[in-house]
A and B are shown apart, each in its own frame.
Chain A
Amino acid sequence: MALFTPHTENEIREMLDAIGVGSMEELFSDIPGVLRPKSFDLPAGTTENETARIFGELERRNRLDYVSFLGGGYYDHFIPAAVDTITSRSEFVTAYTPYQPEASQGTLRAIFEYQTMIAGITSLEFANASLYDGGTGLYEAIAMAVRTNGRKKIIVDAGVNPLFRSIVKTYITNLDLEIREVELQDISTDTESIGGLLDDGVAAVVVQNPNFFGMVDDYEELFSLARTRGVVSIAVFYPISLGIIKTPGEMKADIAVGEGQSLGLPLSFGGPYLGIMAVEKKFVRKMPGRIVGETVDKNGKRAFVLTLQAREQHIRREKATSNICSNQALCALRAVVYLSLMGKNGFRNTALINLERAEYLKEKIGNIRGVEIIAGQTFNEFTVRLPMSAVDFAHKMLGHGYAAGIPASLFYQDKPNHLILSATEKRTEQEMDGFVAVARKVLP
């Protein structure tokens, strides 16, 4: 059994004496017998050595012997080793929320730089210190829009990540809000229909770029229209794509929200991830989550603090902008370190390589007879229509060592043969050639 309590028998005795109780049990005398556990049937503890062995066995029950084309908002990107070196520093890992600025300048400064870089890549004014993930972040963006204009209806494009949409639906079940989802035209946003719905009852309009099927679009006109109708524009974005594609800020979005996993975070079977939020200036006081600001100390020296705390739950309780307390600070640190390492050029090049790899795969797989590449601008993910069920195809391909992509039918029942594939900078031409060769055999 591994124990992390340092007390010796003598010390326990001394401490109990100091307290003035005869036994450890006496300290728990406020808990009456009837409330004591009916059972506490846990295994005996294990040593560190044994634990590591057991976890090794567990880990090996996950398959690792495949090449992955899975995306869907979560991507297998290259992570420089230096990200781990910095983010495994104890001083970052084992600190708490920086409430005491004099003892937390490291975390505060890193978050401040994170806010700056997020503002930079989205070309919006301000970012917060992080939210849990993209999906919960989208809800927070919607709630912010509702706080801003007091309206009750939200227009959401069906091309927005279906997991995000389902989180939002869960969140609003007991609220007086209405979500109107607008169907896609095959796999592209029906911008015209969305525009037609923007009236003075609409709080916000939500679109995603690239959308869940990988389609890239330009929403500047839609967002301009929204602005004239008092509707808040929410752009769901994919950070890596912003190396080359038009940004939420360039499209004049009011709020940008995205899943930040691609910025140096491992896939880790669903988390921890990173909810990114950036906003136009006028929304900053409505923004949820921690925000770090620059100021000076009493000697005039530059200093950083958590600011605008009056928005938050520990002060405003039921009137807070959100209930969020713990966030994803260490994940935000990974992101800022990743972005610093990549820098201006590396960030752009990474995006270009992603485009290149996906275009390569698109071309190769498009050469297979019966496979239809659905036309349109894409980034590192695209959709094909197969001459068979995408679920069956993916299953067969896994047997050959390829995670082929996401069958759209998992979330869009009317698209049984649509498969969504992504190729990041980690996929080599050789891997893609191998994948296409096997696909030829598997397809009818």
Chain B
Amino acid sequence: MKNIYEKSVPGRRGVDPGTAKKETEKKLADRYRRISDNGLPELSELDVIRHYIRLSQLNFSVDTHFYPLGSCTMKYNPKVNEALSSLPGFAGTHPFMAYLDVDAVQGSLELIYSLSELLAEITGMKGVTTQPYAGAHGELTGILLMAAYHGTKGNRKKYVIVPDEAHGTNPASAAMGGFSVISIPVDRDGGMDVNIFREKMSDEVAGVMLTLPNTLGLFPRNISEIVKIAKKHDALLYNDGANLNAILGKARPGDIGFDIVHMNLHKTFATPHGGGGPGAGVVAVSEKLVDFLPVPIVTKTKGGAYTLDFKVKRSIGRVASFFGNFAVLVRAYAYIMMLGREGLTDASEKAVLNANYIRVKLKKYYDAPFDRNCMHECVFSARRQVQKYGVHAIDIAKALIERGIHPPTIYFPLVVDEALMIEPTETESKETLDEFIRAMVEIAETAEKNPGMLKNAPENTPVSRPDETKAARELKLTCNR
């Protein structure tokens, strides 16, 4: 298939924005003018439509394929949310209107305020900022909150503790916030090894970042002990809420003792992933961190109007230009409103039910590194397939693509060899799960009988396995124009 530049025809016009008067150009002095070609193609509107609609057809997506990508919560995204987020009053409002006159943006401010209240209740926290644009951005915000909290007490702490099963963003965020990372291994039960944790813990530790349930899909049974040890050293507890979809109505980070939690609205609260973003990484904090939240904060006056508070005394400052990815907030608010208390609890229950169903059905065929009930995702290892038949996790993933199923997350968490991390989500039906299970069983059997066949998969996709080495060595990053 041609790229868009190969479809370009010199002189062809697309959308006509109008024409400026002839003398306009003279209003720009020569020395400030662009001389070089702007490097854009020339196509008709239909050319463009056809090109990109065809491209869309080369994708797997939740709306077209089962997408059990672990850690990513690829649940169904209700369509009404799309419509609501593009209402002109939401989509058309300039953010600086909030600076000119809060009365002109009461609807948007109320939405931010109400969503914040709901998220605080869902997590058992006291304060919320909607500014972070993504999970990792929420993590960085949390790290900056830690630094500010300890800084105010006159403590310049150096370390952040992260278990080795954590998402790569956790150590990266801690480092970006100026901390050194201490990595702790998991124990045989799948939780952070509490003995090593205790040993590494000191007054120089600013915080501990934990995913709950963790990336092995397990609820750590030693969590209370970890919390106790951290508190003894005044280390703040950070909850990476990537896996919050497992525990809605079942446990709240605030009640467990966490001080900070970020929520990936694009995971738990059903806003679409958009091929990689935009998401939203709203952060909620406990009482002791409320005074450090980014400014401005949306507050409610005694008269019931909404306004902006720029005077949060110890605020870490701004982490985003305005209020975060507002259109994503609109979708999440609609989702939470529709599901309500019972619906959210139901979502977690069904997510956990679906994951466990897959777990028990597949454990005969793939190694389960931790044989206990999982939460919303289950992790297998392709170790057996590697050792006996030379078939790797990646071969299993590609064989699934061949069968029209998006693969699970592979090679993560890093602590499991040849990991296959399966997160079906609650919106998938039993038939879909059964179909997936059949495919996985069939692949396990093929690995045994005809491993070579898996090595060549997929064959019936827009492309077969790309040469990634060539891509990284030769670095062709733009079309030839």
Contacts and interface: CB of A to CB of B under 8 A. Distances in A.
B55 A109 contact: yes
Contacts of A313: 136, 167-169, 171-172
A269 B95 contact: yes
Interface in A82-107: 82, 85-86, 88-98, 100-107
Contacts of A322: 172, 176
B86 interface: yes
A333 B275 contact: yes
Nearest to B143: A174
B458 to A, nearest CB: 5
A270 B72 contact: no
B154 interface: no
Interface string A418-444: 000000010000000000000000000
A61 B107 contact: yes
Interface string B118-160: 1001101000000001111101100110011001000000000
Interface residues of B, number: 212
A105 B462 contact: yes
Contacts of B477: 112, 115, 126-127, 284, 291-294, 307
B320 A347 contact: no
Given A95-B59, A329-B274, A359 B24 contact: yes
A292 B352 CA distance: 35
Interface stretch (B196-204, B340-348, B442-450): B340-348
A100 B70 CA distance: 13
B340 A1 contact: yes
B93 A62 contact: yes
Given A35-B256, A93-B61, A284-B477, A297 B398 contact: no
A130 interface: yes
Interface in A253-294: 259, 266-273, 284, 290-294
B106 A62 contact: yes
Interface in A20-36: 20-21, 24, 26-32, 34-36
A242 B34 contact: yes
Interface in B175-207: 175-181
B412 interface: yes
Given A102-B458, A246-B33, A94 B105 contact: no
Nearest to B355: A27
A46 interface: yes
Given A82-B45, A340-B41, A345-B42, A297 B430 contact: no
Interface stretch (A150-158, A159-167, A223-231): A159-167
Interface string A307-335: 11110111111111011111111110100
Contact of A41 (B49, B91, B121, B471): B121
A82 B478 contact: no
B173 A323 contact: yes
Contact of A163 (B55, B266, B318, B427): B318
B275 A107 contact: yes
A55 B334 contact: yes
B176 A112 contact: no
A299 interface: yes
B432 to A, nearest CB: 9
B331 to A, nearest CB: 10
Contacts of B108: 62, 269
Nearest to B433: A15
Contact of B134 (A47, A60, A325, A406): A325
B352 A28 contact: yes
Contacts of A92: 56, 59, 61, 274-275
Contact of A64 (B92, B147, B373): B92
B462 A18 contact: no
A244 B14 contact: no
Interface in B458-475: 458, 461-468, 470-472, 474-475
B27 A359 contact: yes
Contact of A52 (B3, B84, B326, B478): B84
A133 B324 CA distance: 10
Interface stretch (A67-75, A189-197, A367-375): A67-75
Given A92-B59, A355-B24, A356-B20, A170 B133 contact: no
Contacts of A218: 31-32
Interface string B260-274: 000010100010111
B338 A31 contact: no
A90 B64 CA distance: 8
Interface string A332-354: 01000101111111111110110
Given A74-B96, A268-B93, A269-B95, A318 B320 contact: no
A26 B48 CA distance: 53
B398 A290 contact: no
Given A112-B3, A113-B3, A328-B277, A18 B345 contact: no
A111 B12 CA distance: 23
Contacts of A42: 118, 121-122, 336, 340-341, 344
B317 interface: yes
Nearest to B63: A90
Contacts of B121: 39-42
B53 to A, nearest CB: 7
A425 B18 contact: yes
Given A3-B343, A242-B34, A244-B34, A94 B429 contact: no
Given A243-B38, A318-B171, A326-B276, A96 B72 contact: yes
Interface centre among A37, A98, A290 (most CB of B within 10 A): A37
A355 B255 contact: no
Interface string A3-19: 11111000110111011
A310 B58 CA distance: 26
A42 B340 CA distance: 6
A253 B264 CA distance: 35
11 contacts: A6-B428, A7-B430, A64-B93, A90-B62, A94-B273, A242-B38, A303-B466, A305-B468, A323-B169, A356-B27, A377-B32
Given A250-B34, A317-B172, A344-B42, 17 more contacts: A3-B343, A4-B76, A5-B350, A28-B352, A31-B247, A59-B87, A63-B103, A105-B59, A112-B477, A115-B478, A167-B319, A267-B95, A328-B274, A342-B40, A349-B19, A356-B21, A410-B99
